[in-house]
A = this chain, B = another copy of it.
Amino acid sequence: MIQYFKPHPWKIIEEGFEPAMNEIAESVFSIGNGMMGQRANLEETYTGKTLQGTYVGGVYYPDKTRVGWWKNGYPEYFAKVINSTYWSGLMIFIDGTEIDLNTCTILDFYRELDMENGCLYRKCTVKLQNGIEVRIESKRFYSLINKEYSALSYSLTTDSDCNIELINYLDADISNKDSNYNEKFWDGIQSESFGDELHILAKTNKLNWIVGTSAKCEIFEDGQKIHPKSDHFHSEKQCKTTYHIPTSANKTIRFVKHVITSSNFNHTDDAVLVHGKKSLQKMAASGFDAHFEMSANAWREKWKTSDVVIQGDVSAQQAVRFNIYQLNQTYCGDDPRLNIGPKGFTGEKYGGSTYWDTEAYCIPFYLVSSDSAISKQLLVYRYKQLDKAIENAAKLGFNNGAALYPMVTMNGEECHNEWEITFEEIHRNGAIAYAIYNYIEHTADTHYLFEGGFEVLLGISRFWAQRVHWSEKQKRFEMHGVTGPNEYENNVNNNWYTSYIAMWCLKYTTEMAQKMHLSNPESFAKIAKKTAFELVDETAQWSHIQQNMYFPYDKEYNVFVQHDGFMEKSLLPVAKLAEEHRPLNQKWSWDRILRSVYIKQADVLQGLYFFEDDFDEDTHLRNFEFYEQFTVHESSLSPCVHSILAAKIGNFDKAYEMYVRTARLDLDNYNNDTEDGLHITSMAGSYLSIVQGFGGLRIKNQELSIRPVCPPQWEGYQFNILLLNQPIRVSVEKSKTTIENLGDKSIQIQVNGVHYTVKSGEEVIVNQ
């Protein structure tokens, strides 16, 4: 693994341009604001390898499914977030020769992602084929204040007198690499180029999503605004203005582009462009720098509650901030119809759809690092899709309001087409219930249960109650034909994790129903009526199932058995497997992977992580040691759970090893796929590895407890969190831990099992 990007505590830095690394850099340097985002495509024309990507949250496309052998029940369409109008491109000709980093000589090149302030900055000097040297400096950002605004500042300085032809354009004639049938998804509606403005309105040819993009530009020569001669052009899906700018040696021509991207996700169809034009005028009235400063301030505010500081390891520091930065620019809780795609706004892969990653990994991050309203939006997202989840379950033969949330979705409908995943990886349903529990533990917002949370729990529990079956042979309930989080086993019986979380759902839903019934019988009665819920009868049946459910257990090893038949495999640890066989997913055929003992991603351990209080320390230890030896971590979601559990059982070397594996996954391109986009959802895992792993942070019943340890590789670390909207800072050093209460109320905290009260503005120091 070569560390291509330069270490820096707050920045990702690229020095020198490597064409082979361009698509990776485009992913890593992505910017966004939770509503929109973009890959770091070079502004000027680049004829080398590039993956153009500009994404607008909520705008997706139902691409016709492509599958070899159709299975009954497959969805017809795969909904995917799609590449949208490209706003940041320019074409620049210097005395007739175009700037193209693929063909000119690059004299110097520097690019940075400034995570503290949320912007992409680049400077470089190139020598064109005609001998002219040009210095380029560019900066662009998506505003964290006005979520429809983005802007670019682009400067050119030449070493001789010359004529610059600068073509400013908007392009809706873009393609999607991930299109199943190589179709273009966009139709042009309207396109204009006049004065300093460009406008384009495009519509997806299915679902009628409308995106309007409006740009206004300003041009300066050595800081003085100029008005060069210009030509206008527009076609159905493109519009452009060509500026003819005669300039002299060493003068700097600065081009500023203010852009508004609006869509019928937030506006009526007719209002999209009208609104965009109006908003553009308002925004362009202030300068680039003013908007940038406001956005940067908002970024710095975000860091106050989400930053993790690592002392003595700049590479780890850079990595964890990169992960936090990407998570914060992917999702800000702006809208309950948005969620977190596995690649966020950094690529097309996995269609930008919602997976269980959100509940299992991302919500725990947002719960401690952000206002709880952000996590709540993610819960509401699922509530809004409950009807579709009930429909989905009905299609599979379930009834009485049973809900099965899709494995992959955009609008609530299942859009994945591989039966062992789509149909069988039903454990996702459990994670969705678990997120509600987690949210209430952090926030005490039991009112959310009345607002929809309980209906979600009920639908999920009804599903589980029907999905198990009574085995007359064994006189117990079993659950067959499932795939657990470990996708290297398919269609297994009695997957311990799935059965465990299913039974937990029944138990938790019962408890919540009883509490709601006691605390607010009238409101509860309304919900019960709406859902035809029979509190006594249904919970009695659930209780019967829980008491008679089968959980496979091995008495020899004293471990939970991942699923029936696992212990009968050839139990050869990963360590004994010759290096040439790995990664398995590249070296082995699928059936060899399936029948091997090797685990892609934590499965039993995922259950221990979620439900740690149900098991004693020895159980953790035995299961961790047993399963860790077979785990190949070929999912980006795996190492963090192992890291947290390893820390819990005191195996800090393993915890650190696993942390390192997850933290720089994209920065160092571990999985050799960063060019497709970043692994956004797994980034939450590396944050949790520090905060929950080394920090030992837990929040149960709104009480904070920590059990901090400082890895020997670091001098110390610090994390800032928000609990019940109180900012708290925990600083861990080798010899002591300091807890600062930055809020205005007293807080209760447990450190290594000892209770402390920390008053507002005060701190407590605990020696190790």
State the oligomeric state as a number of copies: 2
| Cα-based distance from A686 to B472 in the complex (angstroms) | 37
Residues of B within 8 A of A474 (CB): 568
- Whole-angstrom distance between the Cβ of A200 and the nearest chain B Cβ: 33
| B567 adjacent to A564 (CB under 8 Å) | no
Contact of A312 with B by CB under 8 A = no
Q: Which residues of B contact A469 (CB under 8 A)?
A: 569-570
Of the A-B pairs whose beta carbons lie under 8 Å apart in the complex, a sample of 6, sorted by A's number, is A69-B417, A397-B592, A423-B590, A472-B571, A473-B556, A474-B568
Choice from B395, B480, B588, B589 contacting A565 with Cβ under 8 Å: B480
**Which single member of B72, B395, B417, B478 contacts A585 (CB below 8 Å)?**
B72
Q: How far is the CA of A325 from the CA of B121 in the complex (A)?
A: 77
Contacts known (A568-B473, A570-B470); A590 close to B68, Cβ less than 8 A: no
Q: Which residues of B contact A395 (CB under 8 A)?
A: 589
Query: SS class of chain A's interface: helix, strand, loop or mixed?
Result: loop
Q: How far is the CA of A469 from the CA of B721 in the complex (A)?
A: 51
- Given A66-B68, A490-B490, 8 further pairs, Cβ under 8 A: A67-B68, A69-B417, A74-B590, A473-B571, A481-B591, A481-B595, A491-B491, A493-B568
Q: Answer yes or no: A396 CB below 8 A from chain B CBs.
A: yes
**Chain B: CB-nearest residue to A418:** B69
Residues of B within 8 A of A556 (CB): 473
- B68 touching A568 by the CB < 8 A rule? no
CB of A586 within 8 Å of the partner chain: yes
Most buried by B among A424, A590, A592: A590
Q: Which residue of B lies closest to A65 (CB)?
A: B68
Instruction: Write the chain B residue with the least CB distance to A78.
Output: B68
Which of B66, B568, B586 makes the CB contact (< 8 A) with A72?
A: B586
Residue A105 at the chain B interface, CB threshold 8 Å? no
Bound CA span A395–B71, Å: 27
Chain B contacts for A67, CB-based, 8 A: 66-68
Contact with B along A573-588 (1 / 0, CB 8 A): 0000000000001111
In whole angstroms, what is the CA distance A66 to B423 when docked? 21
A474 vs B567: C-alpha distance when bound (angstroms): 9
CA gap between A395 and B586 in the complex, in Å:
12
Q: How far is the CA of A74 from the CA of B491 in the complex (A)?
A: 20
Q: Is A568 a contact partner of B490 (Cβ separation < 8 A)?
A: no
Give min CB distance, A593 to chain B, whole Å.
8
Q: Verify if A594 is at the interface (C-beta below 8 Å from B).
A: yes
Contact: A480 with B65, CB < 8 Å? no
**Given the complex of chains A and B, what is the CA–CA distance between A66 and B478 in angstroms?**
36
Q: A38 → chain B, closest Cβ, in Å?
A: 28
CB-CB under 8 A from A493, the residues of chain B are: 565, 568
